[in-house]
Copies of this chain bind each other. A is one copy, B any other.
Amino acid sequence: MTYCVAMRLEAGLLFASDSRTNAGIDHISTFRKMTVFEAPGERLLVLLNSGNLATTQSVISLLRQRLGHDGPNLMNVASMYDAASLLGSTIREVMARDSTGHATLDQGVDYGGSFLIGGQIRSEVTRLFQVYPQGNFIEASEDTPYFQIGEAKYGKPIIDRVLHYRTPLAEAAKCTLISFDSTVRSNLSVGLPIDMLIYRTDSFAPAVPHRIGEDDPYFHQLSRGWGEGLRQVFGGLPDADWFD
């Protein structure tokens, strides 16, 4: 499984995924579940993926392969909306090719892949979309400033409690790491290291992801401090008076 979170806040964008380095090809770099398309000064697009690996790998391979071609691609689309739409149609293309639609052949395999795509293209504000396995998509707003894909539920309560559109990026990063800590503790299929990429609104700066592993002193400090703090709050709350 996978756990990915992306946030679109006033100060910028934050992307995080459980992952391990894979490869890096010129202006495209891939971490295990994070793919970055960038032209510093002009555009930055970050994709996070979860779900069927054959589907998501094919989608990313096709998006990459078409960068050099004349047709629409992630480096020439005029808006983030067009980028999400292109990602959606590429998902449909792969599903149409790979998913047979016959129960016997599919044998209960779930071919679906989910994506988060966010970034900024010059002349636009930052934008963030969640693209469903069906290829349609929704956009984050000030009211709903974050999306999750994969094993999302364990780590959702803490985000719901502290995150809002005006949360500073450093606090959002702290919240995200605690959300990952809760997920990793409750679900063995999500593991460290975490890849985290933070983009400041209108900076068009090169993407510099952070890699956060088990031995990362900050993550360790958060994980321990959060656990101790929770147990302290829990211990300080009263027992029920209906309890004899």
A-to-B contact residues, CB < 8 Å:
103, 151, 153-158, 160-162, 169-171, 173-175, 178, 182, 185-187, 198, 210, 218, 221-222, 225-227, 229-234, 236-243
In whole Å, how far is A224's beta carbon from the nearest beta carbon of chain B?
Answer: 10
Find chain B residues with CB under 8 A from A178 CB: 234, 237
Residue of B nearest to A239 (CB): B170
Find chain B residues with CB under 8 A from A155 CB: 157
CA distance A17 to B28 in the complex (A): 49
Extra A-B contacts (4), CB below 8 Å, given A157-B157, A158-B234: A161-B234, A173-B240, A175-B234, A221-B237
Residue of B nearest to A170 (CB): B239
CA distance A223 to B135 in the complex (A): 39
Contact status of A242 and B210, CB under 8 A, knowing A162-B234, A229-B233, A233-B230: yes
Pairs across A and B, CB under 8 Å, 26 listed: A151-B153, A153-B154, A154-B154, A154-B157, A156-B186, A157-B182, A158-B234, A161-B227, A161-B230, A170-B243, A171-B239, A174-B239, A174-B240, A178-B234, A210-B242, A218-B240, A221-B237, A225-B233, A226-B237, A229-B229, A229-B232, A229-B234, A229-B236, A229-B237, A232-B233, A233-B233
CA distance A198 to B239 in the complex (A): 14
Inter-subunit contact A160/B174 (CB<8 Å): no
- Total copies of the chain: 2
Find chain B residues with CB under 8 A from A154 CB: 153-154, 156-157
Contact status of A153 and B186, CB under 8 A, knowing A162-B234, A170-B240: yes
CA distance A62 to B129 in the complex (A): 48
In whole Å, how far is A185's beta carbon from the nearest beta carbon of chain B?
Answer: 6
Find chain B residues with CB under 8 A from A182 CB: 157
Residue of B nearest to A187 (CB): B153
In whole Å, how far is A12's beta carbon from the nearest beta carbon of chain B?
Answer: 12
Find chain B residues with CB under 8 A from A237 CB: 174, 178, 221-222, 225-226, 229
- Residue among A155, A222, A240 with the highest chain B CB neighbour number at 10 A: A240
CA distance A185 to B222 in the complex (A): 24
Candidates B158, B171, B174, B210; contact of A230 at CB < 8 Å: B158
- Residue among A157, A231, A239, A243 with the highest chain B CB neighbour number at 10 A: A157
